[in-house]
Structure 1
Amino acid sequence: MQVQRNGLSGNKSVTMIVMAMILVLLLAACGKGETKGSNTGAGASATPEATQQGNTAGGTETRTIKDAYGDVEVPGSPSKIVVLDIGALDNLLELGVKPIGAPSILTAGDPYPSYLKGTEGITNIGTVNEPNLEAIDALKPDLIIGNQDTHDGIHAQLSQIAPTVFVETLGVTWKKNLQLYADAVNKADEGQKLLDAYGKRIEELKTALRGKDAIEVSLFRPRADKIQVYLKETFVGTIMEDAGIVRPASQSDAGFSKDVTEEQIADLDGDVILWFNREPDAFAKLEQSALWATLKGAQNNAVHPVEWEYWLSGLGIQAVNKVVDDLNAFLVKG
């Protein structure tokens, strides 16, 4: 009888062991099924979201735009922007975007052009021609905006600091530049609105000028060692061309500028003479020349100094509108 009891007990033990093993296997299978289902769900939701938003590995939304060097991946909404020239500063401020860093025109630390509003608190980063890389790096920007003509030599170094968007050149390409700047800061629509508003102002100026006799407008810059006549392929030359303003024959050539001597002073003549410079005594010297009094613009008291900060160095949409203001004042109202 003892043997029989031991056999029954052994059978029960075997049965319990088998049932326990089956339970373990079932639980393991359920666990694997849940894990697989969870991973599939995360992958399905994460991948489309990253594709739609263009996220980086760090989770920051980005966009790809094309600049002078090719495709550049920029933040979706950059908030710490450094600009390397006054045209970019001008345009961004008008777009409602305040850079954290910008250069002076001539000497590091000089005030920004007085026609620009809202520059308080912007860190100076040197000059347009010599930006301070250490100062830029210290600001930890998330976007740098510059131009290939001036800053090609430091493009690679700047690109190590932050995504860098460069236009090709300045001045004559100011409309194209505004569009790229606006795209870089995710305000393309606002940039187009600024250009549309400019186009409307130009049409109004052209209409006003049609009611007047043809006026030839001379534009030059007296300098310490020469007189520089500004031609069509310049920042202000494009604005005058858009407005249909006639230039003297000697100033109607393609190109940026040409130098003339005091003996060639007749090349400076026009019904209206506009001039700008940074050298305070250069115009006074020219005005004292015996040949100056032979110019019809001088004889008619139609000689007007204009502000070099925006006629020469502005290069942005705010400067453009200041130039249009002056053209209205001197050619329509004056």
Structure 2
Amino acid sequence: MKKTMQYILLLLVALTLVACSSTNKESGNKAKNQKEKSESTTRVVKDAYGDVTIPTEPKNMLVLGSNYAENLIEIGVTPQMVTVVEEIEPEYRFKLFNDNNVKIIPTVQYEDNLEVILEAAPDVIIAQGAAIDAKKYEALSKIAPTVAVEAGVAIDEFVPVLGELFNKEKEAELALKKFRKKIEETKEKLHNAIGDEKILVLRVEQNQYRVLGTEKGSPGSDMLYTQLGLNIPTMLKDNNDWFTPISLEVLPEIDADHIFVEQRQMQNYSSEQSLKDLKNSPMWQAMDAVKAGNVYPLKTADYVVGEGLIGSPLFLDYLVERLVP
């Protein structure tokens, strides 16, 4: 009897040890699986302010600014939300976002719009690094992991960075190749049509007029005078700024063969009266391009705000439409 009891006790101890061992193993496996799952659902990327952990597959990505959203869609990355300033957006972007089920969030121009962003409840925020300072980056990061993309402003500079960020390097490369081909084709058409004729872009603002210079990398100037290699009026050939104020009295001295007139668009802004004053000005009417009827309207939305893999080719088509007989 005594031996039987000892045997039973030994058996119970052995079973207990086995059970404990199994439980510990299961707990260890569970912890390991949870860690692996956590690592697979997030990843670390580098931005303008350092390393940031973001979801591997975002469910509610918010892109601050329609330009980046457009280019992401074009390389195969569709965000769930995008902020826009409705008054200055090019028309094609509304259709682009609606067709891709991207929620459009209206915002106020030149404001932080933090309350609107908080209400959107993003799980990751994508922004142009140059557009947000450290203070705003900190505020955004409290709402959701924020990637301040560190890249230049030119399409050739930031599209490859967006491609790398979302593992779409090949798609970005193909999109840029297509884009460059479009530029070369347009360049050939324009040079065959107008040769050395000079192109002026005159910006009509609320209280002044400005002319486009040759600043590289800036919307319009880079495309017209660098990539397309079109000629700028003699008076402006050494003007390396983006835009420079000019008085109406100087207009007759500008030897422009073609003039694109931009009636500047901004939120809560009107340049209508300035445009009327321009058209009624004897100095404007004395310009050779005006007399010849070589004056064309230009929207801020189409060549500045609309710069991108989709928008810029539309601008190129417009140039051909206006300048090629």
Question: Could you tell me the TM-score, scaled by structure 2's length?
Answer: 0.80
Q: How far did 1:284 drift?
A: 2.9
Distance in 1 of aligned mates of 2:116 and 2:198: 46
Tell me the equivalent position of 2:230.
245
Unaligned runs of at least 5 residues, structure 1: 1-12, 56-60
Aligned to 2:282, the other structure's residue is in SS state: coil
Distance in 2 of aligned mates of 1:164 and 1:176: 20
Structure-2 change in CA distance of 1:315 and 1:65 (3 Å): farther
1:135 to 116, 138, 142: 116
Kindly indicate whether the alpha-carbon contact (under 8 Å) linking 1:89 and 1:102 is maintained by their aligned counterparts in 2: no
1:215 to 190, 193, 197: 197
1:314 aligns to 2:306 (yes or no): yes
Structure-2 change in CA distance of 1:66 and 1:323 (3 Å): farther
Distance in 1 of aligned mates of 2:26 and 2:191: 73
Opposite residue 290 of structure 1, the aligned amino acid is P
- Give RMSD over aligned pairs: 3.0
Q: How far did 1:304 drift?
A: 0.8
Opposite residue 87 of structure 1, the aligned amino acid is N
2:64 to 84, 109, 113: 84
Opposite residue 63 of structure 2, the aligned amino acid is V
Q: How far did 1:201 drift?
A: 0.3
Distance in 2 of aligned mates of 1:277 and 1:68: 35
Distance in 1 of aligned mates of 2:284 and 2:300: 22
Opposite residue 272 of structure 2, the aligned amino acid is P
1:235 to 219, 239, 247: 219
Deviations 1:35-91 (A, max 9, x none): 5655666677676x55xx843xxxxx2333333323332222323232332323433
Question: Could you tell me the TM-score, scaled by structure 1's length?
Answer: 0.79
Structure-2 change in CA distance of 1:30 and 1:77 (3 Å): closer
**Number of residue equivalences:** 308
Opposite residue 177 of structure 2, the aligned amino acid is D
Tell me the equivalent position of 2:139.
157
Kindly indicate whether the alpha-carbon contact (under 8 Å) linking 2:88 and 2:301 is maintained by their aligned counterparts in 1: no
Tell me the equivalent position of 2:14.
26
Distance in 1 of aligned mates of 2:156 and 2:145: 22
Structure whose CA Rg is larger: 1
Identity fraction in percent: 24
Tell me the equivalent position of 1:14.
2
1:113 to 62, 87, 90: 90
Distance in 2 of aligned mates of 1:111 and 1:207: 31
Structure-2 change in CA distance of 1:205 and 1:113 (3 Å): closer
Structure-2 change in CA distance of 1:138 and 1:45 (3 Å): closer
Unaligned runs of at least 5 residues, structure 2: 265-270
2:250 to 260, 264, 267: 264
Distance in 1 of aligned mates of 2:197 and 2:15: 94
- 28-37 vs 278-287, which deviates more? 28-37
